[in-house]
Chains A and B, each alone.
Chain A
Amino acid sequence: MDYHVKLDLFEGPLDLLLHLISKAKIKIEDVSITEITEQYLDYLDKMKKFDVEIASEFLVMAATLLYIKSRALLPKPQIQEDDEFDPEQDLIRRLAEYKKYKEVSEKLKERKKIYSNIYYKLPEELVYKKDESTTSIIEGDVNDLISAFVKLMAQKKFHRTERIFYPVHKRSITVSQRINQIKRILNKKVQCSFFQLFEEHYYRSDVVVTFLALLEMLKDNQIRIFQQGQFEDIIIRRAK
């Protein structure tokens, strides 16, 4: 005859401790670590009996619990140091913290259940009234640069020509040369437009070099990029 024994599975030692605490119907702050230690070790014994592999985290916790218990048994030193690390308080703090997220994950689970079988539409893309005092300039990052580049390459003039054979030019401009050029442009003007930078370049290699130069300058914090709104031109400014 087969015996089926149900052994609750826990996400980790903190989960198990919370379970033991709630079973004992006590608040986390009032927990007696000494009592809980007993039950905790009992549970690990059960796991061993049923051949459940015990993750190392459970053993670390067992050691921590035993350490706390042993501290409670030993007489306290006469001179109390104020900032002495108290493992019991630390554990209680961790339990409370973990409980917070465990509980909220239940709420998120509920939400997920509601939303897993229904669909709703994306908000309409309305043009919002611009507030003059706070012109909505969004500071961009590398991803904005990349999507602007993809948009640029989609423009007709960068499409491959019908000619199969065309002269191959040796382009001599390097990324560092282009960086210097862009620096010069930014020295003359305060800012320049992303798309303008590509205007006189029809060769793919030039376009790529310009783009690499921008990425390099952004990485080195030499420039900052801004955008008025989604899908608009990117403005490049010198970093202060």
Chain B
Amino acid sequence: MKDMDEREIMGLIESLLFVSGDAIPAKRIAEFLNMDVRKVRKLMERLIDVFNFERRGLQVIRVDDSYQLATRPEYGEYIDKFFGSDKKQTLSQAVLETLSIIAYRQPITRMDIELIRGVKCEYAINVLIDKGLIKEVGRLDAPGRPILYGTTNLFLRSFGLSSLEDLPPLQE
């Protein structure tokens, strides 16, 4: 990779993003190319510009210092129409809060979720199961053997996460 010029490096990164599908952290690209991470970020800004300037169907997006190849949002509804896919749902605040607690504290029982939120969460949990964002992952070895909940792969994908480690850190 020594004698590659910037255009070629950008092309290489583009191909890595394609194969990965998931977002790749700037740090990993920098380590692989043996480059300063700031330099990588600068190159990525240029790559993003190139895609935007040419109004391509794909774009490079930046989420939390990671980069990802994705379709452009303005085409979302046409993609849904073409493939007959269901319109993506929005989640209410109650459901989102419940989902956050499960994401960070899994596996967790309903009672523990309710303890944190201070309100009943049965409805929110049912909504999340219906949408396939959480699932039953086991039972707690305690009286009543309560169900333990955890997040699904669909959850990771709908939030653009490649693993649970990519969740934004909790503010202490």
Give the dominant DSSP class at A's interface. helix
Question: A139 in the interface, Cβ–Cβ < 8 Å?
Answer: no
Query: When the two chains form their complex, are residues B21 and A112 in contact, meaning their CB atoms are under 8 A apart?
Result: no
Q: Assuming A11-B93, A120-B71, is B159 touching A112 (CB within 8 A)?
A: yes
Report the minimal beta-carbon distance from A116 to chain B, rounded to whole angstroms. 5
Query: When the two chains form their complex, are residues B97 and A123 in contact, meaning their CB atoms are under 8 A apart?
Result: no
Residues of chain A from 105 to 155 with CB closer than 8 A to chain B in the complex: 105, 107-109, 111-112, 114-124, 126
A13 interface neighbour in B68, B118, B170, Cβ under 8 Å: B118
Range class of the B interface residue count: 35 or more
Report the minimal beta-carbon distance from B15 to chain A, rounded to whole angstroms. 11
Question: B106 in the interface, Cβ–Cβ < 8 Å?
Answer: no
Q: Assuming A108-B159, A114-B160, A123-B21, is B118 touching A94 (CB within 8 A)?
A: yes
- For the complex, give the distance between the alpha carbons of A100 and B103 in Å: 13
Query: When the two chains form their complex, are residues B104 and A104 in contact, meaning their CB atoms are under 8 A apart?
Result: yes
Query: What is the interface size of chain A, counting residues whose CB is below 8 A from a CB of the partner?
Result: 34
Contact mask for chain A residues 184-211; partner B; CB cutoff 8 A; 1 contact, 0 none: 0000000000000000000000000000
Question: A229 in the interface, Cβ–Cβ < 8 Å?
Answer: no
- B20: which A residues are within 8 A, CB to CB? 123-124
Question: B69 in the interface, Cβ–Cβ < 8 Å?
Answer: yes
- For the complex, give the distance between the alpha carbons of A123 and B19 in Å: 6
The number of A-B residue pairs with CB atoms under 8 Å apart is: 115
- For the complex, give the distance between the alpha carbons of A12 and B118 in Å: 6
Question: A55 in the interface, Cβ–Cβ < 8 Å?
Answer: yes
Q: Assuming A118-B71, A123-B20, is B171 touching A103 (CB within 8 A)?
A: yes
- A123: which B residues are within 8 A, CB to CB? 19-22
- For the complex, give the distance between the alpha carbons of A117 and B73 in Å: 5
A115: nearest chain-B partner, CB-CB: B160
Query: When the two chains form their complex, are residues B69 and A120 in contact, meaning their CB atoms are under 8 A apart?
Result: yes
- B100: which A residues are within 8 A, CB to CB? 101-102, 104-105, 108
- For the complex, give the distance between the alpha carbons of A25 and B74 in Å: 40
A98 interface neighbour in B117, B120, B171, Cβ under 8 Å: B117
A111 interface neighbour in B71, B77, B94, B159, Cβ under 8 Å: B159
- B97: which A residues are within 8 A, CB to CB? 11, 101-102, 105
Query: When the two chains form their complex, are residues A114 and B63 in contact, meaning their CB atoms are under 8 A apart?
Result: yes
Query: When the two chains form their complex, are residues A104 and B170 in contact, meaning their CB atoms are under 8 A apart?
Result: yes
Question: B172 in the interface, Cβ–Cβ < 8 Å?
Answer: yes
A122: nearest chain-B partner, CB-CB: B21
B19 interface neighbour in A100, A103, A108, A124, Cβ under 8 Å: A124
Query: When the two chains form their complex, are residues B21 and A12 in contact, meaning their CB atoms are under 8 A apart?
Result: no
- B127: which A residues are within 8 A, CB to CB? none
- Which 3 residue pairs of A and B lie closest in terms of their CB atoms, listed nearest first? A117-B76, A12-B119, A117-B73
The interface of chain B, by Cβ under 8 A from chain A, is 18-22, 59, 61, 63, 68-74, 76-77, 79, 88, 90-91, 93-94, 96-97, 99-101, 103-104, 115-120, 157-161, 167-168, 170-172
The interface of chain A, by Cβ under 8 A from chain B, is 11-15, 55, 57, 61, 94, 97-98, 100-105, 107-109, 111-112, 114-124, 126
Can you name 4 extra interface pairs (CB under 8 A) apart from A101-B170, A102-B100?
Answer: A11-B117, A13-B119, A98-B117, A104-B104
**Contacts A/B (CB < 8 Å), 12 sampled:** A12-B119, A98-B117, A100-B172, A102-B97, A103-B171, A115-B157, A117-B74, A119-B76, A120-B21, A121-B21, A123-B21, A124-B21
